Amino acid sequence: MSGVALVMHQFRFDQKVFWRNPAAVFFTALLPLIFLFILASVFANADISDLDVKGSTYYVPAIITLAVISATTVKLATNLPAEREAGQLKRVRGTPLPPATFVAGRVGNSLVISLVMVALVSVIGALVYRVEIPTETMPAMLVTLAVGAFSFSCLGFALAAVIPTEEAAPAVTNATVLPLYFLSGVFIPQDELPNGVLNFADAFPIRHFFEAMFTAWDPNTTGSGFEFGQLAVVAAWGVFGLLVAVRFFRWEPRR
C-alpha cells in the first residue's frame, strides 16, 4: 500500500472504532450538542453586551470550540494512554506500519470528527436558533478549524505522552481543559468574566481559538474575518505540543 492509501486504511478503522464505542460517541459527539441546547436556550435572548450579539450567536462558535477540543485533545489524551498501557500501541509498533502513518490516521480521525461536529453545530444553530451560517467569513472559519484541530491534536499527543497511566488520563485531561473552558468564555459569556480572568486565559490556546472562531461567526465582522494573531498563538501551542510529543511519546506500557 502506498503511503496515502495506508493512512486512509488506518483512518477507516479508527473511524469504525470511534463510532462503535458508545461512551466515545456520547462524550465527543453528543455532549457538546447537549451543551449547545442548554446554553443557547438559556441565554438565547441575552445580549452579550460588549460584543453586541445574542447569546445564541455567541454559543455556536463557543460550542464549536468545545467540540473541536473534545474531538482532538480530550479524545487523544484519554485514548492513547489507555491503549499504551493495554499494550495495543506496542503491538502496532511491532508491525511494519510506520509510526507517522499511525499518527496521521489518528489526527485525520480527530479532524473528521471535528468537521462533522462543526457541521452539526452549524446546522442546529441555523435551524433551531436562527444563527446565520457565515458565507463571506467561511474561508476564515475553515482555516481556523484546520489550524485549531491540528494544534489541539498535537497537544493531545503531548498530554498522552506525559500522562503516566490509563486511570490518570481522564482526570488530567479534564482538569486541564474544563477550567479553561470556563475561564475562556466558552461556558460563561465573556462579558460576565473579569478582565483578569480573560488575561489569564489568554496565556492558553483555548481562548485564542475561540476568539478566532467567534470572529468568523460574528455578524458584525467586516472583511474576511481572519484572526492571524490568534491563529499564530494557537499554532505556536501546536508546535510546542508536537515537540513534547516527539520527545516523550512512548509506545510501550510503563511497568
Which one of residues 4, 30, 49, 91 is an interface residue with other proteins (CB under 8 A)? 91
Kindly state the number of chain residues that form the binding site for other proteins, as judged by CB under 8 A.
22
Please provide the distance, in angstroms rounded to a whole number, between the alpha carbons at the two ends of the chain: 35
Q: Give least dist CB 169 to other proteins, A.
A: 15
Beta carbon of residue 99, minimum distance to other proteins (angstroms, whole number): 10
- Answer yes or no whether residue 254 interacts with other proteins by CB under 8 A: no
> Nearest-CA neighbor of 220 among 132, 146, 145?
132
- The Cα 109–Cα 46 span in angstroms is 36
As a whole number of angstroms, the distance between CA 29 and CA 117 comes to 7
Contact 184, 116 (CB under 8 A): no
**Range in contact with other proteins (rule: CB under 8 A) among 94-102, 133-141, 188-196, 236-244:** 94-102
Which positions ≥6 away from 162 have C-beta within 8 Å? Answer: 244, 248
Report helix, strand or coil for 133. Answer: coil
What is the number of H-type helices and E-type strands within the chain?
12, 2
Residue 88 or 176 having the CB closest to other proteins: 88
Cell reading at 139: 474561508
Q: Report the site for other proteins in 117-146 (rule: CB under 8 A).
A: none
> Could you give the 3-state DSSP secondary structure of residue 47?
strand
The helix or strand, by DSSP H or E, that contains position 210, with its residue range, turns out to be helix 205-217
**Span interacting with other proteins, options 56-64, 81-89, 212-220, 223-231, rule CB under 8 A:** 81-89
Segment lying near other proteins (by CB under 8 A), choices 12-20, 28-36, 106-114, 130-138: 12-20
What would the x/- binding string for other proteins be over residues 19 to 38, using CB under 8 A?
Answer: -xx-----------------
Q: Please choose, out of 2-10, 29-37, 179-187, 201-209, the segment that lies near other proteins by the rule CB under 8 A.
A: 2-10
Show Cβ contacts of residue 147 under 8 Å, excluding neighbours closer than 6 positions.
Answer: 212, 231, 234, 235, 238
Q: Which of 2, 50, 94, 222 binds other proteins (CB under 8 A)?
A: 94
Q: 17 or 119: whose CB is closer to other proteins?
A: 17
Closer Cβ to other proteins, 161 or 231, answer by number: 161
Q: In the complex, which residues of this chain contact other proteins (CB under 8 A)?
A: 1, 6, 9-10, 13, 16-17, 20-21, 86-88, 90-91, 93-98, 252-253
